[in-house]
Amino acid sequence: MSEAEALREEGPKEMTEEMPPPVFETRQPFDLTDELRARVAELDLVDSVEHVKEHGYGYVHDAAPPEFVARLRETIIRIAQSDAESVLARLGATMLLPKDPIFAEVVVNPKLLTMVEILCGKGAMLSQVAATIKPRATEPGDGKGGLHADQNWTPAPFPVHNQLVTFCWACDEFNEAAGSTRVVPGSHRERRHPNQREVAEEPGVIHTECPAGSLVFWDGSTWHSGGAPRTVDGERVVLHVTYSRMAMRPVECYDFLGEDWLADKPWEMRVLLGREDFLNTPQGGFAHGIKLPRAMNWAKT
Ligand SMILES: O=C(O)CCC(=O)C(=O)O
Ligand SMILES: [Fe+2]
């Protein structure tokens, strides 16, 4: 039986569920349903929601017990060291979801999922599960030059609705000396990417600060940088988890078409099927050379 015939025979699951009544009005940012508001209160996220609304970034505390965070830290270090051939690769790892059961627990953490629903709506998707290990800096320097908004493939002006949210689970304390993420509070209101001067000078940045085990998160339009040097001993171990709205995913998936099918097609076909950008690949975002910076440029056209 073909897949299509099997589907007809059984009926897709959603056809057997009750039809949802249509919704006509789009909820505006931070206009929470009663259910979501109650969940925010129950999970002790009221301050986190207020903070991200006002400043574009916020903190989530007590998302898991200290033993969980300790295991997360060890797991990241073990995977980064075992996966990697180069020194650079040993300072990070991507595509982590299936590499240890702890990551599957992280991405469905109720506190994270509640913030995700507020910032990226229902149906939001997991975009990235990556880790970084930042040792004490060996070179002098202020680490400037990496300021960006994570919805870096969305053209400006950014839509009123946030597109993407990133959580950094700080397995070690976050402060200036530790090389914590720098953010520009309120930059989400600019609704654009930072310009060349802002990237070079990082006006208005502050260092995020939280105890080990807490999470720092920011919406997709908030300017931030991971470039701050660590000036104390030890390593800053962070899990970066990103979710995005479901909105722009293509309706039809042609990932099953191989290089043989593409062989006699023009290059434009490769672009149309997402083969020439860095998104949605089983190798993760950073494995594709120029495809990442080129896509960021394409997004601004
Ligand atoms: O490593 C950091 O402090 C932040 C990195 C970053 O830009 C991100 O996770 O989106
Ligand atoms: Fe970022």
Query: How far is Cα 6 from Cα 2, in angstroms, rounded to an integer?
Result: 6
Of 175, 225, 235, which is best to mutate to test ligand 1, by the most ligand atoms within 8 angstroms of its C-beta?
225
**6 C-alpha to ligand 1 centroid (Å):** 44
Mean pLDDT on 55-63: 98
Provide the pLDDT confidence category of residue 271 given band limits of 50, 70 and 90.
very high
The highest-confidence range among 15-29, 58-72, 81-95, by mean pLDDT, is: 58-72
- For residue 130, give the ligand 1 atom closest to its CA: 9
Report the pLDDT value the prediction gives residue 48, as an integer from 0 to 100.
98
Q: What is the pLDDT of residues 23-48, one digit of tens each?
A: 999 999 999 999 999 999 999 999 99
Q: What is the pLDDT of residues 188-243, one digit of tens each?
A: 999 999 999 999 999 999 999 999 999 999 999 999 999 999 999 999 999 999 99
Q: What average pLDDT is seen over the chain?
A: 94
Residue partners of 27: CB distance under 8 A and separation at least 6: 33
Structural domain boundaries in the chain: 30-249, 253-301
Provide the pLDDT confidence category of residue 3 given band limits of 50, 70 and 90.
low
CATH classification of 30-249, choosing from 4.10.780.10, 2.60.120.620, 3.40.50.280, 2.60.40.10? 2.60.120.620
Residues in the chain, overall count: 301
60, 45 Cβ separation under 8 angstroms:
yes
Nearest ligand (C-alpha, residue 181)? 1
**179 C-alpha to ligand 2 centroid (Å):** 14
**32 C-alpha to ligand 1 centroid (Å):** 28
pLDDT of residue 88 exceeding 90:
no
